[in-house]
Amino acid sequence: MTGRRPSRTQPIDERRFHDWLARELPAGRTGLLPLGDDAAAIRPPPGKVAVLSIDSLVEGTHFLPRSRPQQVGAAAAGVSLSDLAAKGAQPAALLLAIVVPIGTPQNWAEEVIRGAERTSERFGMSLVGGDTKPGPVRTVVSSVVGWAREGSLAPRSGAHPGDLLATTGSVGRGGVAAARMNTSQRPDPRALSAMLDVRPRVAEGAVLVRWAHAMLDTSDGLAEAARLLAEASHVRVEVDEDRLPLTTALRDPNLSAAERRRRALYGGDYELLLTLPARGFPAAQRAVRNVGGRLTVIGRVAPGRGAWLGDGGRKRPMPPAGWQPFVRRSRRRL
């Protein structure tokens, strides 16, 4: 990416925007097909399979009008990278579609691209193409391609009774950001930024597929991820609440136990939830530590059905997911 500041404050024009992309993006000069062609072409490594994912960020649901467009673009790349991380895939290429109302300044779209490209570069991925269309609300659609080994994809259906249940990183970052937004009369700039602070665990996923039987990200919350894992694998997933590696803000002694739980399980963390054999955990934990991450055992997999939350020896059905995008809300949230 060049350091030139965007100069397009006039409404977006598709041809002019594509000309800007061809000048600014490295893929416009180095790809197998030039940026703006009918399709993009990438060369797969020998012996690897393609892993693909697609996500959408919609204004009013995932970001707000005041959100910085560079952060929107970075988050769009990040949420799709998180899906690749959950399969241990090596990121290869990003496609980005931008939908904006007619009259949207072109520099908004340019800044989205800059944010997405910078995040992509951090993980060795290139933005190789996309689309622009007019629409009623600003939306960014991100599609990614990555490479992985066919026998090491850690499907959700792969959990075994007797496995340990573990998570990377910490729990509750997304819930804390959402709570700050929902308790503010005006959008809190720090919470606005935190809601789009997606940290895909690509390096952790790449090493964990050596041991993981099943793995998925916690974009919709740890509660929902545990339920999905239990359903796909036809097992009972038990989470020990006391073992959750809570983010610092959730250690506030003034928080009630119920509110701490709600924020911890809310969603938007983009960590990896996985099952693995107990004998492999020490080596897996060292491997994650070696790439700068953290791995914590938070429960187990047992025969049976459903996702359960344990607290002081008692077990109860996992509470409903906090993040439910198709439920109407009185306040805006990520």
Q: What is the DSSP string of 6-18?
A: P---SBP-HHHHH
Q: Identify whether the C-beta of residue 112 lies closer than 8 Å to the C-beta of residue 15.
A: no
Give the model's pLDDT for residue 235.
98
Residue where the block lists tokens 């999905």: 228
Instruction: List, in order, residues 6 or more apart from 161 with CB less than 8 Å away.
Output: 235, 236, 301, 302, 303
Q: Which two tokens stand for residue 267?
A: 């969603």
Query: Comparing C-alpha atoms, which of 59, 68, 129 is closest to residue 100?
Result: 59
**pLDDT at residue 290 greater than cutoff 70:** yes
Give the model's pLDDT for residue 326.
53
Give me the CATH code for the 156-317 domain, please.
3.90.650.10
Q: Does the global pTM surpass 0.85? A: yes
**pLDDT at residue 14 greater than cutoff 90:** no
More confidently predicted of 18 and 279 = 279
Helix (H) or strand (E) holding 129: strand 126-134
Distances (CA, A) of 285 to 52, 82, 213, 219: 27, 19, 15, 22
**pLDDT at residue 112 greater than cutoff 70:** yes
* Cβ atoms < 10 Å from Cβ of 50: 13
- Selecting from 2.130.10.10, 3.10.180.10, 3.90.1150.10, 3.30.1330.10, what CATH number does the domain 14-148 have? 3.30.1330.10
Q: Percent of the chain scored above 90 by pLDDT?
A: 71
Give the model's pLDDT for residue 331.
39
Specify the DSSP class assigned to residue 251.
G
**pLDDT at residue 101 greater than cutoff 80:** yes
The ranges assigned to domains in the chain are 14-148, 156-317
